[in-house]
Each structure stands twice: as C-alpha cells, then as structure tokens.
Chains A and B, each alone.
Chain A
Amino acid sequence: MPTLPAENAGALLQGSGRRLSWPSGWQWLTLLIALLVLMPLSVLFLAWLEPAWDIWRHLQQTLLGLLLLNTFKLVVGVSAGTLLLGVGLAWLTGACDFPGRRHFSWTLLLPLAMPTYVLAFVFLALFDFSGPVQTQLRLWFGQGFRLPDMRSAGGVVLVMSLALYPYVYLLTRNAFRTQGKRALEAAQSLGCSPTVGFFRVVLPMARPWIAGGTALVLMEALADFGAVSIFNYDTFTTAIYKAWFGFFSLPAAAQLSSLLVVLVFGLIVMEQQLRKRMRFAQSRLAPQAERIQLHGWHKWGATAACSLVLGIAFVLPTLQLLRWTLEVYHQEFNRRYLDLLGHSLLLGLSAALLIVTVALLIAYCGRRHNDRLTGSLIRVSTLGYALPGTVLAVGIFIPLAGLDNLLIDLARSLFEIEMKPLLQGTIFVMLLAYLIRFMAAGFKPIDSAMHRVTPNIDEASRLMGLRGLRLLWRIHLPMLRGGIFTALTLIFVDVMKEMPITLMTRPFGWDTLAVKIYELTSEGEWERAALPALTLLLSGMIPIVLLMRQTDED
C-alpha cells in the first residue's frame, strides 16, 4: 500500500466535494473554534501595540542567545528522544512478537499519566549530587566521584523524553498495528532488506501518526515550565515567565509568547506541506496484521529494552512517590482528597467528551473541505497546545472577564439591575479554556485515524444515501474507534495534569489534585505532594487501561 500521488487523491475528493460550496455548517463550526482559539492569541499579539523594547534590549544583551540555544537543544533532543523511544517501542509491541509483548504493549503507556514536573522532581531527588544514588556511589568510589550533572540539557532532555514518549508511542502504535508484516513483506518482495524496508516503507507509511505524536511532544516541550524550572534550565518559556513575574511586564511576556506561536504555526505548516502530496488510506479493512516473530537475542533484547524504559520512566518514579506517600500519609490525607479526586475526574471526563466531539466534527470538516482556508482554520484551532499554560490562561481570562463586565454594565444601564458575573467562575468557562488548550490532543489522533479511511468509502456511502452527520456517525465512527479512544485518553490525562488554567478559571472550592500538587510544590513541599501526585497517577491509569482493552483484542 505505497503512497498514491496527490492527483489521484484529488480526483477522489473532488467527486465528493464539488457541490459543497463555502461555507457549509462544518466550516462555520471550524471557524467558530478557530475564533475561540484566536481570542487568547489576539490578546497576545495585541500586546505588540506597546512593544516592551527595554526588556527586549535587555534580553538581547544578556540571555537571548543562551535561551535560543537551550530551547533549540531541548526541541532537538526531546524530538530525537521521543521518536527513538516512541517509534521504536511502538514497532516492537505493535508489529513484532516477543516475550512479554502483551504486557508491555499497555504498560509502556503508563508514563503518560505521570506529569512531566513530577518525573523531573523525582529524578532530581534520586540522581542529583545530594540524592541517594550519587551519595552511595561516593561511598563506594570515593568523595571525588561524580555522575554527569543531572541539572543540564542532557538531564532535561532525558526526563522529558521519558515523560513524553507515550504520545508518539500511542499514536504510532495504532499505525503499526494495522500495517504489520504486510508492508515489510511488500518491500521485501521488491528486493529491500528488512532494515531498508523499515526506513523506506514502514516509517513513511506511519508518518501522519508519527508526525502527530511528535507535534504534540514538541508543543508540550516548548510550553513546559514545570520541569525546566525544577532543573533551572533557561528556555524561551522561562524567559516569558521572567518577563512577567520578574519585570512585572505582561506585555513583554505576551510578545515573547506570540513568537512561540508563530514558530509552532510555522512548524505545523511545514510538516503539512511536506506530507501534502501523500495519502495514507488503508487498502483493506482487516485491522489486525500478522506479527513478526523475533528470535534469539533480538527476542530477549526487545524484552530487555521494554523493561528498561518501563522501569526508568514508570516503576522507579512510582516507587519513589509511594515511599514519600507512606512517610506523609498520616499527616496529609483527609476527606478533602476525595473531593479533589472527584473534581479531577469530573473535569477530565467532561473535557475529554467535549473536546473529542468537537475534534471529530472538525477533522471531518477537514476531510470534506480540503481548501486552503479550512486547512488554516484547523491549524489555528490546534495552536493552544503550544502556549505556556499560564500565559494562555490569562489570554483566555481577559476577554471573558471583559465580556462579563460588558454584560453587567449593559444590565445596569438597560434594565437597572445588578447582575453577578455570568461566566467567570463557572465550569463552562473552564471547559471552554480546556477546549482551547487541548484541541490538538483531540484532533491529532482522530485526524490521523481519518487518514486511514479511504475516500472510496465516503463515495460508496454517499451513493447509498448516507451523508453528513449520519455518514460520520454510521460509517466513520466505528472505523475511528482507535483514534477516538486515544484522543479521549490523551485529553483526560492532560486535563488531570493541567495546572495554570485550572488555577485561574476554577470556581471557588473546585480544587483538583493538580491544584493541590501546585500548592504543595510551590512551597517546596515535594514529599507531601507525593500523595496527590500518586493519586493523579493512579486515576490517570484508568483510561489507559480501558483504552488498551478497547483497542487490543489480540
């Protein structure tokens, strides 16, 4: 099933798209979501009306070079790390067979539930100079013994790769599972060695999935503040916070953030341009492909590699959290934790349902209308994922509060009644904010899954009189199941881990586990934060386990 030239694909789509003229209901919806995302973005770009030149000059004279270099190292390192781990492990568990494969295929996803900032802290606690590992090593090998410094570019890249590889793994594994041995056999029948076949056929065919996962990882890495500040590693994002909290200049912070948005938008456009001429539809509908049996040291090597990653990224940090939790449990646990847990679960679940619904509609819109404008709108609607959370939270809050004030003033002048703010402090606003932030996490898995559905199916369905929502519901939905469950899981877990938006938009009393972690860690009480962190981890595992049961019948 090699990629088809674009002309063929265009011809296929034209048949279905000809009589649809702009704007259809689908496009209105996409426009609406894009506008929603543009709202906080425009707050950021409007900050350029008052350029904070003094701060820019200062940054340029002092830190800018370092920040750009550090950010570049982070982006390149984390992409390489997550690609290596994510794609490699996905290939092993998705297309090969070796001892323990069944267990690894879902346990390797568990680090998804581990917030990056928690992993970062645990790693520093264990492996920094004063941690137990180095202390023990110094006892054995003398006081002069040093491990490479954990608090360095290498350390940050390691931690982020371990925390973020599941995004790539999850998406790519879907691709490999449906592709399996067949593609490699096809390549071999054309005279390629297995290695050449893997790089020339298997990988390119999984590209939308790999690219989607990597895009999520990159956005997370660029927007990350928690982990980099624990390592005191200066990046573009730490500069944004410095401008805001150190120089008290929100405009400068907004201006820096807007550059980040432009950068990410550029990356997304570039990737899509590169893959524009390819199509990835599946030739047959048989979802399960035969696995490649590994033998000899390959077999045990695969088991060892999976165990190693799982051990470092999940088992070790979980045990450390458990140890701390046992130390603080008696003083820390109270009934309020049930409330926190309940809020986290409820928010995660409602946000996941809402965002997946919207992402599904938008992905379908993108399928029906492959014109420029629709494409751009869709790209814009996923940009919220790349912004540092606190900055986005403010960008969302300012226009909403403005709208509230307007309503209150209107009510006062027109009807002479005193109204309370309608939007602020409601779950509605929180969900809206999550939608803006996490559209990418919903859209990427569903969109890549939709690439697998051949346009012929749409054609055939239309001939049978199915169109619009009914086509989406009856025909696409069952075929997109994997993608939808992936999206639900990603969003659920992401929302549970999310801090800044939750902090800023939550109604009174709606504290969550992540809020609790923030409160304790910002006072330096990391050991006490182990209890909410462990609870968060365990509840984040629920959807992951469910996901695997849904998608893994073999």
Chain B
Amino acid sequence: MSNFLGKSIFVLLLFALVLPAVSFADELVIYSARKEHLIQPLVDAYTTETGTKISFVTDKAGPLLQRLKAEGKNTHADLLVTVDAGNLWHAANEGVLQPVSSAVLEKNVPAHLRDPAGNWFGLSERARTIVYSTDRVKSADLSSYAALGEKQWQNRLLLRTSKKVYNQSLVAMLIAQHGEKQTEAIVESWVGNLAAAPFSNDTKVMEAILAGQGDVGIVNTYYFGRLQKKNPGLKLALFWPGAQSGGVHVNVSGAGVTRYAKNPAGAIKFLEWLSSEKAQNLFADANMEYPVNPRVTAHEAVTAWGSFSPSTQNLADAGRLQSDAVMLMDRAGYR
C-alpha cells in the first residue's frame, strides 16, 4: 500500500517542519482574545525594552478557556487576555487562573476594575454609553440607560444584539443595581421603543442613527471614536448618564495569570508593566479606550468626549450575573 506510506511520510514531514516552532525556552506565552493588531505593538515594545520573547495566539474567549481547561497542567500559556470582565470572571470561576498579589498592580488598577481575589486585572477601561443624533435630540432629554424606555423614545431607540457580551454585561450591572424585576421592566421598555430589529454591531447602530432610522442608541465609545475619526463632522454625540443614576457602565479588557503558568513571575512582570504609566497609553490608545491607571490620562481625542462618572460596582458582578442577564433579555424579547 504505497499510498498509505506516501501519506504517512507526507504527514511526518509536515510534523517535523513544525516541531521547532513549538519549543519554548524562557519566553512568555499568551492566549489572547484581544486581537493581534491591538496586542502586537505592546508585545513589540516589551520585547524591545526587556528582551523577553513573547508568543501569543488569538481566538475567542470561549475556545481559549476550553483550550486552557483541556491542556490542564501541561498548558503553554502563562497569561490569558480577554476583552470583557465576564469572561475573566468565568475563567477564574473555572479555576484556570491563579491569584496574584502585587503591590504594583493593586496601586495601578482601581479596586472595582480587578478581581477581589487577584485572579484578574483590568488593563483598559471601555465605556458603554448613550449616543444620540445632534440633529434630532437635545441632550437635556437624556438621563439614564433606564430612561431610554420612556415613551418619548418610542420608535426612536436602536440597540445592538443581546448576544453581544457588552450588552450582557450592561444588563448584568443593571441587575446588580436595580434588581432583576425592575431590570426586566427596563429591558422590556427598551424593546417596546425599538425602531428597528437589533443590529449585529455598534457601528451599524450609529450608521442607522445617522441615516435617520432611529435617534438614540447605546454604544462603546471607541466605535464612536473610529467613526468620528473617519468623519469629523459626525452629527452624533455621546451622552454620559450621571452619577445619581448609577454612572456610566464600564467594562475592561484585562488579563490573568494562568493557574499552571510555566513562567508566572514573567507573566506578573508583564502585567505590572502593562498597568504602568508608560504602557497604559499604548494599551488604551491603540483602540481609543480609557487607561485604568488613574495617573494616566486618555488620548486627547478621547478626553474630548467629556468626562464622566463611571459606575463603581465591582466588575466581577458582570460575570456572576451574566447568565441571569441573558435569560432576562430572552424573556423580555430582546434579541
């Protein structure tokens, strides 16, 4: 059966071809749900500064977590990076992260943006707030997320799908704040006000507002920033819900050291560096997000959107209440 032989040789050759690529010396290995174009500049800067070699592989948070679980104590990964606190909470809950205590991280990352047990740390802050058409809406008419369910927004509200984790976290935080019953009423009132079926992404929401399909929506600020960069005369503006209504919903892009990290000290050092003054702008500005480190100011294009009072509920709640939030949105008919 020469065919089989040929095939085996072929496969073995490929196998040998790749083996050198999977041997790791004293380097750092990252599993990242934050995308290559956002993480590569940081990796490059760190390598230049410290000489530490870093390899990373990107995927969605769900598969990365399963990968860590399946690999167990033989995993290569030292660090798990995700773009949402819910996923970090879930990873910690599944036991693939290890608690870290670092004075530097505790100083650089505010308490509500990191796991109380030290399993994960937020590295950039992402604000999810209200966006409105400057042509058709006065900012005085806006007050809070809940108020988007008022009669005046009937047939004027546009939302992104409830399947996106950003909305799941938002509703989870509303549950933490208002309780489940009241939150369900809020979400139902949103659904009643929708001017179109939910969109698959935030940019589409804003484009639809611009086209006049609706007047208000909820988006992450960096999507707004991207659109603004392309079109400086954008007839949209951001509105920041005030502190009395619970403040602006924030989420983090963050990371945690894996439980079976081969190089935990290196991973902690990298995390500390990421939270430091010199790296924070690099991390946040790449995507027009907010630095978590209170001593660092955001990019000027970002600060130009105005200052806001963020919600200070611990983000671990977003993870803990996520599945409740999803079920609630399903019940309320929010697709």
A401 within 8 A of B: yes
Interface residues on chain B, size class: 35 or more
* 0/1 string, B45-70, CB within 8 A of A gives 1: 00000000001111111110011001
Q: Which of A160-168, A180-188, A295-303, A391-399 contacts B (4 or more CB under 8 A)?
A: A391-399
A371 within 8 A of B: no
Residues of B within 8 A of A234 (CB): 335
User: A522 and B35: CB pair below 8 A?
Assistant: yes
User: A62 and B331: CB pair below 8 A?
Assistant: yes
Bound state CA distance, A234 and B74, in angstroms? 38
For B62, give its contact among A245, A405, A427, A519 (CB under 8 Å): A245
A469 within 8 A of B: yes
User: B213 and A129: CB pair below 8 A?
Assistant: yes
A329 within 8 A of B: no
Q: Which of A90-98, A203-211, A501-509 contacts B (4 or more CB under 8 A)?
A: A501-509
The residue of chain A having its C-beta at the shortest distance from the C-beta of B56 within the complex is: A508
User: A242 and B62: CB pair below 8 A?
Assistant: no
A218-232 residues with Cβ-Cβ distance < 8 A to B are: 229-232
User: A524 and B203: CB pair below 8 A?
Assistant: yes
A25 within 8 A of B: yes
Interface residues on chain A, size class: 35 or more
Residues of B within 8 A of A58 (CB): 327, 330
User: B323 and A248: CB pair below 8 A?
Assistant: yes
Tell me how far the C-beta of B53 lies from the nearest C-beta in chain A, rounded to whole angstroms: 11
User: B63 and A394: CB pair below 8 A?
Assistant: yes
For A408, give its contact among B57, B74, B204, B327 (CB under 8 Å): B74
User: B201 and A503: CB pair below 8 A?
Assistant: no
Tell me how far the C-beta of A364 lies from the nearest C-beta in chain B, rounded to whole angstroms: 11
User: B198 and A232: CB pair below 8 A?
Assistant: yes
User: B322 and A246: CB pair below 8 A?
Assistant: yes
A339 within 8 A of B: no
* 0/1 string, B211-240, CB within 8 A of A gives 1: 111000000000100100000000000000
B22 within 8 A of A: yes
A-B contact count (CB 8 A): 172
* 0/1 string, B302-335, CB within 8 A of A gives 1: 0000000000000000000011001100110001
B301 within 8 A of A: no
Residues of B within 8 A of A420 (CB): 22-24
Residues of B within 8 A of A421 (CB): 22, 71, 74, 76
Tell me how far the C-beta of A311 lies from the nearest C-beta in chain B, rounded to whole angstroms: 25
User: B322 and A427: CB pair below 8 A?
Assistant: no
A14 within 8 A of B: no
Known: A63-B330, A405-B72, A511-B36. A229 touches B163 (CB 8 A): yes
A242-265 residues with Cβ-Cβ distance < 8 A to B are: 242, 244-250
A128 within 8 A of B: yes
Residues of B within 8 A of A242 (CB): 163, 326
Bound state CA distance, A161 and B250, in angstroms? 40
User: A426 and B15: CB pair below 8 A?
Assistant: yes
User: A519 and B3: CB pair below 8 A?
Assistant: no
User: A504 and B22: CB pair below 8 A?
Assistant: no
Residues of B within 8 A of A408 (CB): 74
User: A128 and B204: CB pair below 8 A?
Assistant: yes
A107 within 8 A of B: no
Residues of B within 8 A of A134 (CB): 211
B98 within 8 A of A: no
A73 within 8 A of B: no
> Which DSSP category, helix, strand, loop or mixed, fits chain B's interface?
helix
A320 within 8 A of B: no
User: A424 and B71: CB pair below 8 A?
Assistant: yes
A50 within 8 A of B: no
Tell me how far the C-beta of A64 lies from the nearest C-beta in chain B, rounded to whole angstroms: 10
User: A520 and B37: CB pair below 8 A?
Assistant: yes
Tell me how far the C-beta of B116 lies from the nearest C-beta in chain A, rounded to whole angstroms: 20
User: A401 and B70: CB pair below 8 A?
Assistant: yes
Known: A503-B58, A504-B63, A519-B35. A246 touches B14 (CB 8 A): no
A238 within 8 A of B: yes
Bound state CA distance, A244 and B1, in angstroms? 44
User: A402 and B202: CB pair below 8 A?
Assistant: no
Tell me how far the C-beta of A201 lies from the nearest C-beta in chain B, rounded to whole angstroms: 39
Residues of B within 8 A of A357 (CB): 3, 7
Residues of A within 8 A of B66 (CB): 250, 394, 397-398
A266 within 8 A of B: no
Bound state CA distance, A216 and B94, in angstroms? 37
For B210, give its contact among A130, A250, A353 (CB under 8 Å): A130
User: A425 and B163: CB pair below 8 A?
Assistant: no
Known: A420-B23, A427-B14. A135 touches B200 (CB 8 A): no
B114 within 8 A of A: no
B273 within 8 A of A: no
Residues of B within 8 A of A443 (CB): none
A390 within 8 A of B: yes
Residues of A within 8 A of B198 (CB): 232
B185 within 8 A of A: no
Known: A246-B168, A431-B14. A232 touches B199 (CB 8 A): yes
B1-37 residues with Cβ-Cβ distance < 8 A to A are: 1-3, 7, 10-11, 14-15, 17-19, 21-24, 29, 35-37
Residues of A within 8 A of B72 (CB): 401, 405
Tell me how far the C-beta of B190 lies from the nearest C-beta in chain A, rounded to whole angstroms: 15
For B200, give its contact among A229, A244, A245 (CB under 8 Å): A229
Known: A500-B63, A503-B58. A427 touches B74 (CB 8 A): no
A385-438 residues with Cβ-Cβ distance < 8 A to B are: 390, 393-394, 397-398, 401-402, 404-405, 408, 420-421, 424-428, 431
A143 within 8 A of B: yes
Residues of A within 8 A of B59 (CB): 503-504
User: B58 and A62: CB pair below 8 A?
Assistant: no
A350 within 8 A of B: yes
Bound state CA distance, A526 and B147, in angstroms? 32
B208 within 8 A of A: yes
Bound state CA distance, A41 and B63, in angstroms? 17
B165 within 8 A of A: yes
Known: A129-B208, A390-B62, A509-B21. A231 touches B37 (CB 8 A): no
User: A523 and B11: CB pair below 8 A?
Assistant: no
User: B200 and A428: CB pair below 8 A?
Assistant: no
User: A427 and B18: CB pair below 8 A?
Assistant: yes
B265 within 8 A of A: no
Tell me how far the C-beta of A11 lies from the nearest C-beta in chain B, rounded to whole angstroms: 30
User: A426 and B19: CB pair below 8 A?
Assistant: yes
User: B210 and A428: CB pair below 8 A?
Assistant: no
Residues of A within 8 A of B19 (CB): 426
The residue of chain A having its C-beta at the shortest distance from the C-beta of B206 within the complex is: A130
B143 within 8 A of A: no
Residues of A within 8 A of B335 (CB): 232, 234
17 CB < 8 A contacts A-B:
A129-B196, A130-B204, A130-B207, A232-B163, A245-B62, A247-B323, A247-B326, A248-B322, A397-B67, A401-B67, A420-B23, A421-B76, A425-B18, A427-B15, A431-B14, A507-B21, A508-B56
Those 4 A-B pairs whose CB atoms lie nearest each other, nearest first: A130-B211, A401-B70, A246-B326, A130-B207
Q: A393-B63, A515-B58 are in contact. List 6 more A-B contacts (CB 8 A).
A: A62-B327, A229-B161, A401-B72, A421-B74, A427-B18, A469-B2
